[in-house]
């Protein structure tokens, strides 16, 4: 059997690894438009000159040879023929498959703001290529503007600061990383970034960009009337699943490629995993999806049930935060909010009817992995008759005597 | 694979396993000389106490399906196909702490001094005489046993 995987990031690599580990005779071909395998979560380390391109890889150097995987790098898939079971590449090759995994991820989106898309010095921060282009800009640029203060924008900002640029971050919402943090925990990061030279313009938005005679965006105009000079612009305003090449193939899509719990599309033998499915745009989930899609492609049945995606960790300037679930509930949701804080820690727990809806743990996040289980599985914790801040895995301690593994006794 | 099997009824909370773990990761130290005041003094195993259930030893299981490995975006955490143990390569780690978030048993933690690495059981590098915590347990509440991978 020949399995073709499009995409060489978390989902694609994890699928290839799973296939080769359980059925080494299966032929695996990975097609990727990049010429390197890298973890996008470490792009800031590359741009900040903390690591080189090899240093942000998440696989062993001999991964492909050792596992007997064919890797077609620098290759973009432009078409898919589900009847003939072939994919077409940019250099007009037809590659046949028995089973196909689409793990093409997502691509960044430049909002249709006058001057922004036209500017030659506007970059996303998604792939190594983006970071490499930014890297060369950093050699001459002095003023950097980051549009969007989500995790990606903050990653970009931290790298640009490391390169000695003057960084301004523009954000539409009232606070930084508003999907992951509340006002209080966001302020802690904002202050750290400001201390390190970042300027924030919050609750404001870009209305136009002045482009100079060589096509570079020079001045960014905001709704408030502010004008910010820019030598280089990073756009971090969200991503969209990338599946243009499936047009006309018969694969059902919405904003993403639609898959069932077995991660199969509406077409037999075609599966999808990772950001392209729109299920969960976060590394651990993409890895798991890649693994589960692989197992299903090999003919076993395994369902993807871990759809919980409201989770993240943040680590900037040594301040760590865990964020899970609904952390900024609306008043009409009638949640109870509990807060405990000291000099080094801020903890917020959102509860409703004895069930934890969301947590923010800022500061010491050691041993906090159990919270995800409680929230995801809607475990009633009020029966524990204990201060909710003092809960730990020990309160749900269960042992499987035969394997020695833990489980949850709830 | 070899796993530290827990018999929690035998544990009486002496914390010798904690001290042994810290000592095993402080070069040149032993049970008597280990510097418990050092900011590097971090145990990889934990004993919790519950008024009803008694002592609850929490040790890395080197799980069959390790959530920490699945969450690792740098390749620092890998399950060794031969030993079955989850190995951690500090030089690869980017300290994103998604493994801390994903360990359902709350075993993993960032190092408290620098927040640049993860404190995780390394099975004492598979030394032939076994993990230090097991050797230090006077009650045999933790023992290394072979379990099927």
Of B63, B100, B112, the CB nearest to A368: B100
| DSSP assignment of B53-73 | TEEEEE-----SS-HHHHH-S
Of the three residues A251, A268, A297, the one that is the final residue of a domain is A297
**Structural tokens at position A200:** 């924030």
- % of residues, chain A, pLDDT over 90: 96
**Pair A140, A83 in one domain:** no
Q: How many secondary structure helices (H) and strands (E) does chain B include? A: 4, 8
**Structural tokens at position A7:** 């995409």
Q: Which of B50, B74, B78 to mutate: most A Cβ within 10 Å?
A: B74
Q: How far apart are CA A366 and CA A321, in angstroms?
A: 10
Q: Is residue A113 part of a domain?
A: no
State ipTM. Answer: 0.95
Weakest mean pLDDT among A9-18, A66-75, A343-352, B26-35: B26-35
DSSP E strand stretches across chain B:
2-6, 46-50, 54-58, 77-79, 86-88, 109-110, 118-119, 142-146
Q: Is residue A78 part of a domain?
A: yes
Q: Is residue A24 part of a domain?
A: yes
Give the residue numbers spanning the domain of A146: 122-235
**Pair A225, A127 in one domain:** yes
Q: For residue B16, give the H/E element and its range.
A: helix B16-24
Q: Could you tell me if B3 lies within 8 Å of chain A, comparing CB atoms?
A: yes
pTM of the model: 0.93
**Pair A327, A397 in one domain:** yes
DSSP B126: G
pLDDT in tens, A375-393: 999 999 988 888 999 999 9
**Pair A131, A225 in one domain:** yes
CB-CB neighbors (< 8 A) of A289 in chain B: none
Q: For residue A284, give every residue at least 6 positions away whose Cβ sits within 8 Å of its Cβ, in sequence order, or none.
A: B67, B70, B71, B98, B101, B102
A306 pLDDT more than 90:
no
Of A47, A267, A265, nearest in space to A135 by CA: A47
Give bridge partners of residue A323 from the DSSP assignment: A312, A360
> In B, residues 51-110, which contact A (CB 8 Å cutoff)?
53, 56, 58, 61, 63-64, 67, 70-75, 81, 92, 94-98, 100-110
**Taking the alpha carbons of B127, B131, B136, B142 in that order, is the dihedral positive or negative?**
negative
Q: How far apart are CA A239 and CA B69, in angstroms?
A: 26
Of A78, A102, A86, A27, nearest in space to A266 by CA: A102
Q: Look at residue B149 in the predicted model and tell me its pLDDT.
A: 67
Q: Is residue A231 part of a domain?
A: yes
Q: For residue A258, give every residue at least 6 positions away whose Cβ sits within 8 Å of its Cβ, in sequence order, or none.
A: A252, A265, A266, A277
Of the three residues A235, A258, A279, the one that is the final residue of a domain is A235
Q: CA neighbours within 13 Å on the CB side: how many for A370?
A: 24
Give bridge partners of residue B118 from the DSSP assignment: B110
For chain A, what is the domain count?
3
Give bridge partners of residue B143 from the DSSP assignment: B5
**Pair A128, A87 in one domain:** no
Of A41, A404, A406, the CB nearest to B73: A41
For chains A and B, CB pairs below 8 A equal 138
Q: How far apart are CA A324 and CA A308, in angstroms?
A: 10
**Pair A193, A267 in one domain:** no
Q: How far apart are CA A352 and CA A72, in angstroms?
A: 50
**Pair A229, A245 in one domain:** no
Buried b / exposed e along A226-250 (16+ C-beta atoms within 10 A) = eebebbbbbbbbebebbbebbeebe
**Taking the alpha carbons of A191, A194, A198, A199 in that order, is the dihedral positive or negative?**
positive
Q: Is residue A393 part of a domain?
A: yes
**Pair A290, A359 in one domain:** no
What mean pLDDT do residues A136-151 have? 97
Q: Are A235 and A122 in contact (CB under 8 A)?
A: yes
Q: Are A86 and A77 in contact (CB under 8 A)?
A: no
Q: Which residue has the tokens 């059925």?
A: A23
Q: Is residue A90 part of a domain?
A: yes
Q: Is residue A304 part of a domain?
A: no
**Pair A272, A292 in one domain:** yes
**Pair A26, A77 in one domain:** yes
Of B69, B65, B91, nearest in space to B78 by CA: B69
Q: For residue B133, give the H/E element and its range.
A: helix B132-136
Of the three residues A212, A235, A258, the one that is the final residue of a domain is A235
Q: Look at residue A154 in the predicted model and tell me its pLDDT.
A: 98
Q: Look at residue A233 in the predicted model and tell me its pLDDT.
A: 98
CB contact under 8 A, B96 and A288: no
What mean pLDDT do residues A39-67 have? 96
Q: Is residue A116 part of a domain?
A: no
**Structural tokens at position A233:** 């612009």
What mean pLDDT do residues A234-260 have? 95
A309 pLDDT more than 90:
no
Write the CATH number for A88: 3.50.50.60
In this structure, are strands A311-316 and A346-352 parallel, antiparallel, or unpaired? unpaired
> Nearest-CA residue of chain A relative to B111?
A366
Q: Are A3 and A24 in contact (CB under 8 A)?
A: no
CB-CB neighbors (< 8 A) of A282 in chain B: 98
**Pair A141, A203 in one domain:** yes
**Taking the alpha carbons of A245, A248, A249, A252 in that order, is the dihedral positive or negative?**
positive
Write the CATH number for A353: 3.30.390.30
Q: Look at residue A385 in the predicted model and tell me its pLDDT.
A: 83
A232 pLDDT more than 80:
yes
Q: Which residue has the tokens 């989770």?
A: A311
């Amino acid at each position: 059997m020949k399995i073709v995987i499009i995409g060489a990031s978390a989902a694609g690599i994890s699928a290839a690894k799973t296939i080769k580990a359980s059925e080494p005779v299966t032929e695996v071909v990975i097609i990727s438009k990049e010429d390197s395998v890298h973890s996008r979560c470490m792009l800031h380390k590359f741009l900040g000159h903390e690591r080189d391109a090899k240093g942000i890889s998440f696989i062993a150097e001999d991964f492909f040879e050792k596992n007997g995987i064919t890797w077609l790098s620098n290759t973009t898939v432009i078409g898919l023929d589900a009847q003939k079971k072939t994919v077409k590449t940019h250099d007009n090759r037809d590659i046949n498959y028995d089973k196909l995994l689409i793990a093409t991820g997502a691509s960044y989106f430049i909002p249709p703001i006058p001057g922004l898309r036209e500017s030659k010095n506007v970059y996303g921060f998604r792939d190594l290529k983006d970071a490499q282009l930014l890297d060369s800009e950093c050699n001459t640029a002095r003023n950097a503007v980051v549009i969007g203060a989500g995790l990606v924008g903050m990653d970009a900002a931290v790298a640009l600061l490391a390169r000695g640029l003057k960084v301004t971050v523009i954000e539409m919402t009232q606070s930084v990383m508003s999907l992951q943090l509340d006002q209080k925990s966001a302020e802690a990061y904002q202050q750290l970034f400001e201390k390190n030279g970042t300027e924030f313009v919050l609750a404001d938005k870009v209305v136009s960009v002045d482009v100079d005679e060589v096509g570079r965006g020079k001045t960014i105009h905001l709704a408030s009337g502010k004008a910010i000079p820019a030598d280089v612009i990073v756009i971090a305003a969200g991503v969209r699943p990338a599946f243009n090449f499936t047009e006309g193939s018969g694969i059902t899509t919405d904003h993403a490629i639609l898959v069932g719990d077995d991660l199969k599309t509406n077409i037999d033998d075609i599966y999808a995993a990772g950001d392209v499915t729109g299920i969960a745009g976060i590394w651990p989930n993409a890895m798991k999806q890649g693994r589960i899609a692989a197992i299903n492609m090999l003919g076993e049945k395994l369902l993807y049930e871990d759809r919980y995606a409201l989770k993240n960790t943040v680590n900037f300037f040594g301040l760590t935060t865990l964020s899970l679930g609904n952390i900024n509930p609306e008043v009409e949701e009638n949640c109870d909010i509990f807060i405990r804080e000291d000099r080094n820690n801020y903890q917020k727990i959102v509860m409703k009817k004895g069930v934890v809806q969301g947590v923010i743990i800022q500061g010491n996040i050691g041993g906090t992995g159990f919270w995800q289980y409680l929230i995801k599985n809607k475990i009633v914790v009020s029966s524990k008759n204990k201060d909710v801040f003092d809960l730990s895995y020990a309160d749900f301690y269960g042992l499987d005597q035969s394997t020695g593994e833990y489980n949850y006794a709830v | 694979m070899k796993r530290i099997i827990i018999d929690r009824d035998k544990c009486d909370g002496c914390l010798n396993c904690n001290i042994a773990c810290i000592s095993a990761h402080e070069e040149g130290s032993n049970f008597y000389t280990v510097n418990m005041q050092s900011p590097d003094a971090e145990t990889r195993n934990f004993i919790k106490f519950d008024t009803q259930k008694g002592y609850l030893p929490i040790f890395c299981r080197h799980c069959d399906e390790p959530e920490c490995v699945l969450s690792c975006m740098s390749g620092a955490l890998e399950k060794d196909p031969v030993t079955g143990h989850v190995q951690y390569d500090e030089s690869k780690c980017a300290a994103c702490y998604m493994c801390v978030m994903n360990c359902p048993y709350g075993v993993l933690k960032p190092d408290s001094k620098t927040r640049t690495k993860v404190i995780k059981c390394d099975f004492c590098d598979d030394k032939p005489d076994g993990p230090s915590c097991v050797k230090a347990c006077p009650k045999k509440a933790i023992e290394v046993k072979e379990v099927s991978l």
